[in-house]
Amino acid sequence: MTDPHPDQGAMSDESWTIAHRALPLLDLTSLNEDEDEATTDALCARAVSPAGPVAAVCLWPRFIPQARERLAGTGVRIATVVNFPGGSLAPEKVAEQTAEALADGADEIDVVIPYHSIMHYPHSTQPDEVLAATREAAGDAVMKVILETGCLAKPVFIERAVEIAVRNGADFLKTSTGKVQVGATLGAARIMLEACRDSLKPGSPRRVGFKASGGIRDLDGARDYLALADHICGPGWVSPATFRFGASGLLDALLAALGHGGTHPPPSSAY
């Protein structure tokens, strides 16, 4: 008898494969204005999922010590944000935020580039100044530079922001804060991933990774970004050291595809 659903098994296999790849790449993120100790505990509990731990949690600086205590021994890294979300603070203030976050136990710093100044560059040197100060304060910690590509919009401005971020020591290029209308897009991701590919060339001072954040909530979105990364940077490039998804709403979709079901509603921010 002919199988009435000949592609169902293949689709299930593909979904499992995507979810299996994506879950260890997830920066489980919660940056709502009403976060408290209870929501932080819940975030940390979700980070060690039935299918394995995510790469990191990303939360407000004031919750770093709590997350560090809750996640001790799990392998989940602690990420936080500085110059967030507007990207408008002075370099010395951003450096101060970075130093305090690291002293509290953060492993990774997600810093917003002064994206409003990108279109005026080089008449405004604020992007260089802020990122240089953050890099110095961060030392050997991972520095992810949030470009807010949805606001930059034009490829020429995204390319300029990428060049400034790479030159100032970015470990990752990140699409969005998740606080503006347009988050991650495949067009912006292509520009950013091409810079990641170029950083693999001999003589490059630092290898650069990519973080897609803002609006990625399902397996189709995860698949599209993973496929683009495989195409541009090579099929062996993607790992937690080079690629992240900044999201919380994505976790339930991944767990469902892996056979664990969705046990928690996505947060209202849907970062």
How confident is the model at residue 3, as a pLDDT? 43
How confident is the model at residue 271, as a pLDDT? 57
Homologous superfamily in CATH for domain 8-257: Aldolase class I (3.20.20.70)
In the structure encoding, which two tokens stand for residue 186, read together? 């495949």
Break the chain into its structural domains and give their ranges.
Answer: 8-257
Q: 27, 128, 171, 174: which one is catalytic?
A: 174
How confident is the model at residue 10, as a pLDDT? 54
| 180-to-11, 90, 175, 184, 204 alpha-carbon distances in Å | 33, 21, 11, 10, 32
Active site residue 220: no
Tens-binned pLDDT, residue by residue, of the chain (271 aa)? 334 444 445 558 999 999 999 999 999 999 999 999 999 999 999 999 999 999 999 999 999 999 999 999 999 999 999 999 999 999 999 999 999 999 999 999 999 999 999 988 888 899 999 999 999 999 999 999 999 999 999 999 999 999 999 999 999 999 999 999 999 999 999 999 999 999 999 999 999 999 999 999 999 999 999 999 999 999 999 999 999 999 888 999 999 999 997 544 444 444 5
Whose structure tokens read 């991933």? 193
How confident is the model at residue 12, as a pLDDT? 85
Alpha helix (H) ranges present in the chain?
8-22, 37-47, 64-70, 91-104, 126-138, 149-152, 155-167, 186-198, 219-233, 250-257
176 secondary structure, DSSP code: -
Active site residue 154: no
Active site residue 218: no
Q: 110, 128, 171, 252: which one is catalytic?
A: 110
Q: 27, 144, 171, 211: which one is catalytic?
A: 211
Reduced to 3 states, what is the DSSP secondary structure of residue 84? Answer: coil
The enclosing H or E element of 82 equals strand 77-82
pTM for this one?
0.92
